Chain A
Amino acid sequence: MPIEVNGKTLETDEEGYLADLNDWEPAVAEVMAKLEDCELTDEHWEIINYLREYYEEYQIAPAVRVLTKAVGKKMGKDKGNSKYLYGLFPYGPGKQACKYAGLPKPTGCV
């Protein structure tokens, strides 16, 4: 279903992931979050921005286990755990956060 962001219509796949990575801008995350009744805080943005950096570096969306470990390394143990990440992204930090970040669904995610 396409989404409306700043007057532009952006294509998404059937699960709501952005069809074209290059369409992403911060407003995309805001619109997607709103559709799922999720209010984005600085803590959400920290993870979303990190995912975008990760993708830029490695050209893939990380599996949730890999994300958790990497967040722990970068932001400390109190954030690098499943409980914290699921707290922010209840639909699954891999799936939901990657979607907001405009990335494809993580490889190995079913």
Chain B
Amino acid sequence: MSEPWEDEEEGAIKKFMFINRKAPYGTIYALESLEVVLISAAFDQDVSLVFSDDGVFQLKKDQDPESIGMKNFSRTYRALEGYDVEKLYVDKESMEERGLTEDDLLVDVEMLSKEELGNLMNEQDVVLSF
């Protein structure tokens, strides 16, 4: 009989990529994606995140959505490191189109071209788009 803390046998690890394309508020996509990311990480999966199109706004510093009755879940992106989710990529073009630089974001990311992102996608077992 094993104790709960000893029950840590390794399951199958897959490469999951979550692609975030939508603005953080107005739809539930960003929050739902973040939730699934945390669950995947809690199950020790190999998780990477991509932020593209309006999805880059999800990582924008200084969000204050309280006036629209939303929790400021952007702070949760800073918890990802503690979940060993450290592969965060943003689409360079989407950033430039919106006048954003890495300094505008609340976590460390890697800026990649669409081609580089495409290559990364090809390496994944599962790609989920939000």
Contacts and interface: CB of A to CB of B under 8 A. Distances in A.
- How many chain A residues sit at the interface, stated as a range, is 10 to 19
A107 B76 CA distance: 12
A109 B4 CA distance: 14
A49 interface: no
Nearest to A65: B42
Interface stretch (B17-25, B67-75, B96-104): B67-75
Interface string B41-62: 1110000000000000000000
A60 B82 contact: no
Contacts of A59: 71-73, 75-76
A63 interface: yes
Contacts of B127: none
A62 B82 contact: yes
A57 B39 CA distance: 19
Interface in B66-120: 71-73, 75-76, 78-79, 82-83
Contact of A107 (B3, B5, B42, B82): B42
Interface residues of B, number: 18
A12 interface: no
A70 B82 contact: yes
Interface in A51-96: 57-60, 62-63, 65-66, 69-70, 81-83, 86, 92
A66 B3 CA distance: 19
A58 B42 contact: no
Given A63-B38, A107-B39, A86 B73 contact: no
A92 B3 CA distance: 12
Interface of B: 3-5, 35, 38-39, 41-43, 71-73, 75-76, 78-79, 82-83
Interface of A: 57-60, 62-63, 65-66, 69-70, 81-83, 86, 92, 106-109
